[in-house]
Amino acid sequence: MSVIAYIPNQEGIIKKAGFELASYATALAENMGKEAIAVVLGPMAGDELEKLGKYGISKVMHDANPLFAQLDNRASAKALATAAAQAEVVVLAHNNEGKGVAPRLAVRLGAGYVSAVTGLPQSITPFLVNKVVFTGKAIGHAEILTAKKVLTLAYNSFGVHEKPVDVSVEAFDSGCSASDFVLNVQQTQKVTGKVLLSEAEIVVSGGRGMKSPENWKPIEELAELLGAATACSRPVSDEGWRPHSEHVGQTGKIIAPNLYFAFGISGAIQHLGGVSGSKVIVAVNKDPEAPIFEAADYGIVGDALKVLPEFIEAVKELKKG
């Protein structure tokens, strides 16, 4: 019996979320007295797979079939079910791929499934694990009633922890053939040179209080200085000021960075639903009564357009040392 982590890759490269997942699987396996194994699907670059050894993974099972790059949920679930035949727990990333594959895998394995867990189980028997419910308004202690379990791990909830071990990479045949891949990807558009919002440790976000899309320049500048991702409230993406992929909140992305800057965001309950898991929230808003201040740790009652350049200067100074 083992704990299996399905490590996502972006064109053969493992991102932070993959190493966080490896760290989580290692810690969970240790708690359960099991072995942590990683499964990777699709072609991988250079020595990417060996990197998993740094986070406690001693064995990697790799099916290099290039068709896995199509992200066909049904095929991936079938492949993982083969790899996980002997596993007790399978963990996946809480990204769109993980959300699409994990529930399918749970059905295949006869396993119970809990999504977006925020840490290690509080108890193994019974298997109790915490997750956010009611979009951030409560924490649920979810219990899985079956012998096998499938989980997705919420981003940035566990952290990346080094624990170097010797790693062996083994080719494995997942049993998927060309006929298992039925999706036809016609076009791919990449967002380049930017920090992935769901993975970002710092997020700089703007709301309707920023007034117009032109005013996003200082937001982007601050984000770039901090190595941060940019985000926005719903009306901002609805207006087309910013792309939909940046919309955070109940109906957008749910994020949990270490630091979240909210410029000109009122802090409506639906917005907070997506960002209240942030460790530290900084709000800049003209209105001292704005609900964002109830959720914020630090704040300035003032004009975001005036404060942003000051922040940029202060960060530049800090960086100079």
Ligand X SMILES: Cc1cc2nc3c(=O)[nH]c(=O)nc-3n(C[C@H](O)[C@H](O)[C@H](O)COP(=O)(O)OP(=O)(O)OC[C@H]3O[C@@H](n4cnc5c(N)ncnc54)[C@H](O)[C@@H]3O)c2cc1C
Give which of ligand X, other proteins, none residue 53 binds (C-beta under 5 to 8 Å, depending on kind): none
Region of 7-15, 167-175, 191-199, 231-239 interacting with ligand X (CB under 6 A): 231-239
According to DSSP, the residues that pair with 162 across neighbouring strands are: none
- Residue the block writes with tokens 């032109």: 214
Q: What dihedral angle (degrees, nearest 10) is formed by the CA atoms of 277, 266, 227, 95?
A: 50
Give which of ligand X, other proteins, none residue 287 binds (C-beta under 5 to 8 Å, depending on kind): ligand X
Least Å distance, CB 220 to other proteins, is 18
Least Å distance, CB 139 to ligand X, is 20
What DSSP designation does 164 have? -
Residue with smaller CB distance to ligand X, 25 or 232:
232
Contacts of other proteins in 273-312 (CB under 8 A): 273, 276, 279-280, 282-283, 293-303, 306-307, 310-311
What is the amino acid identity at position 213? P
Compute the distance between CA of residue 13 and CA of residue 77 in angstroms, rounded to an integer.
Answer: 21
Residue 109 near residue 90, CB atoms below 8 Å = yes
- For residue 279 the two structure tokens come to 């460790």
Residue with smaller CB distance to ligand X, 2 or 276:
276
Give which of ligand X, other proteins, none residue 1 binds (C-beta under 5 to 8 Å, depending on kind): none
What is the three-class DSSP state of 165? coil
> Could you give the string, one character per residue 175-214, with x where binding to other proteins holds by CB under 8 A and - elsewhere?
-------xxxxxxxxxx----x-x---x------------
Residue with smaller CB distance to ligand X, 249 or 257:
249
Residue 146 near residue 101, CB atoms below 8 Å = no
Among 120, 165, 225, 305, binds ligand X (CB under 6 A): 305
135 belongs to the binding site for ligand X (CB under 6 A): no
DSSP states of 18-85 = HHHHHHHHHHHHHHHT-EEEEEEES---TTTGGGGGGGT--EEEEE--GGGGG--HHHHHHHHHHHTT
18 belongs to the binding site for ligand X (CB under 6 A): no
What DSSP designation does 236 have? H
Least Å distance, CB 94 to other proteins, is 8
- Residue the block writes with tokens 């290099």: 64
Among 61, 102, 210, 265, binds other proteins (CB under 8 A): 102
Q: What dihedral angle (degrees, nearest 10) is formed by the CA atoms of 77, 172, 17, 188?
A: -70
Compute the distance between CA of residue 183 and CA of residue 86 in angstroms, rounded to an integer.
Answer: 29
> Could you give the string, one character per residue 115-154, with x where binding to other proteins holds by CB under 8 A and - elsewhere?
xx---------x-x--xxxxxxxxxxxxxxxx-----x--
Compute the distance between CA of residue 10 and CA of residue 103 in angstroms, rounded to an integer.
Answer: 21
Handedness of CA 167, 169, 175, 181 (dihedral sign): positive
Residue with smaller CB distance to other proteins, 113 or 167:
113
265 belongs to the binding site for ligand X (CB under 6 A): yes
Contacts of other proteins in 244-263 (CB under 8 A): 244-245, 247, 250-252, 258-259
The number of angstroms, rounded, from the C-alpha of 145 to the middle of its chain's C-alpha atoms is 26
Among 8, 98, 103, 207, binds ligand X (CB under 6 A): 207
Give which of other proteins, ligand X, none residue 271 binds (C-beta under 5 to 8 Å, depending on kind): ligand X
284 belongs to the binding site for ligand X (CB under 6 A): yes
φ/ψ of residue 300, rounded to 5: -130, 125
Total residues at interface with other proteins (CB under 8 A): 98
Q: Which residues bind ligand X (CB under 6 A)?
A: 207-209, 233-236, 249-252, 264-266, 268, 270-271, 274, 284-287, 290, 303-305
